[in-house]
Amino acid sequence: MTQVYSEIGRLRKVMLHRPGRELCQVLPSQLSGMLFEDTPYLAEAQKEHDAFAKILTDAGVEVLYLTDLMKSAFESPKVRYEFVSEFLEASHITSPALVEKLEDLYLRMSPDELVETVLCGIRSDDARLQDVTSFGNLGAREAVFAVCPLPNIYFMRDNSISLGHDVIYSHMEKRARKREAIVLRYVRQHAKEFQDTKEEDLYDLSFPQRIEGGDVLVLSDHSVIIGCSERTSPVAIEYIAHSLFERGYTEVYAFDIGMHRASMHLDISLSMVDVDTFLYNPLIDGTTDIYRLFPAPTGVGYDYVGKDWHRALAQATGNPDVRLIPCGGDDPVDTEWELWNLGANVLAIAPGEVVGYERTPITLDLLDKAGIAVHTFPSGELSRGRGGTHCMSMPLVRDLL
């Protein structure tokens, strides 16, 4: 069962991906295209991720790992065949002879081997591909990868979105991440863990407008916030709002945070940490256009809320006494520093209890003074991919408030 009607209800079940060898495929010469700030060190990244997972399990959260779910989904030969065909079609391989060879190679693999290969990719100099001698494959051999890896997939918030009892499969903006949503769709439709789940897709992965989960904050069973950003378009927001209104939701708030990598998703700048408290980015408060979408005879209507985050969040939550904690405090240099280190990106595991990186001491002190319990762990390697604990987790079940 999927049940996510808030960002703060006690977390009962979550999906994570423990980084694997795919991180070792991040090339220093291609950091920008692979969406990393620097090459991560796998052994330390895994230690950090294990510390994160232990905090969750110690709090009573059931942790499901993506690789286990993929293996479960791929037990069926029919599912493997359909997945491989769709995955390779989305992998931008121009040589038909190479596609044919790769398809044969993938389908001969065990579920364990297939999962590892999907995540790590296949290099062009792989010995298993050397008999592909067609002229059309000559250009492909100049690339490092015949099939590119998925090193960003440990940011599980982005590629599928739990919302109520349903799901949104993300149409991801960056080429490096587009195939992740295909992986998650097969997992959530075919892994044994999801067999009793009646999720409906609130979007359509074939729809060309971009949408990513880091821009979606679930406030309640009637109100949702979605960031209009580098990764999520206004048209996608309207589409999702229409789907939500058909299911009884009454309003969607759109925060236009701009087209900047530093604030690529709304959850880099805004996290709900208690029933009346948000952690936020004060540098863009007062500069962000905010809109309220609502059901209308024409489908979706909207009005302009303004630029004041406190006013908008008070309206969205129905609480005029809502509290906003500024990431980094009052000093703009401290704020920029701690935002860059994902200080505003935390995962609530219960009302007033969150998990975050230990590298943002000013913000952590402010949370403590506000009565928010914070669990922390080191993040020197995980943070190289520009995501925090909220980014790394896909809630599947939360208690109702």
Return the active site residues.
Answer: 391
Q: How many CB atoms lie within 10 A of CB 8?
A: 24
Q: Which two tokens stand for residue 316?
A: 């969205």
Report whether 219 contacts 275 (CB < 8 A): no
Cα–Cα distance for residue pair 230/217, rounded to 1 Å: 16
Per-residue buried b or exposed e for 277-307, using 16+ beta carbons within 10 Å of the residue's own CB: bbbbbbbbbeebebbbbebeeeebebeebeb
Cα–Cα distance for residue pair 357/336, rounded to 1 Å: 16
Cα–Cα distance for residue pair 31/36, rounded to 1 Å: 5
293 forms beta bridges with 252, 302
Cα three-residue angle 354-180-166, rounded to 5 degrees? 60
Report whether 172 contacts 210 (CB < 8 A): yes
Report whether 57 contacts 193 (CB < 8 A): no
In this structure, what DSSP letter does residue 10 have?
P
Question: Which phi and psi angles does 228 have, rounded to 5°?
Answer: -95, 115
Q: Which two tokens stand for residue 332?
A: 């703009």
Q: Which residues contact 65 (CB under 8 A, 6 or more apart)?
A: 15, 16, 17, 18
Give the CA radius of gyration of the chain.
21
Q: Is 146 helix (H, G, I), strand (E, B) or coil?
A: strand
Q: Which amino acid appears at position 389 of this protein?
A: T
Question: Which phi and psi angles does 167 have, rounded to 5°?
Answer: -145, 150
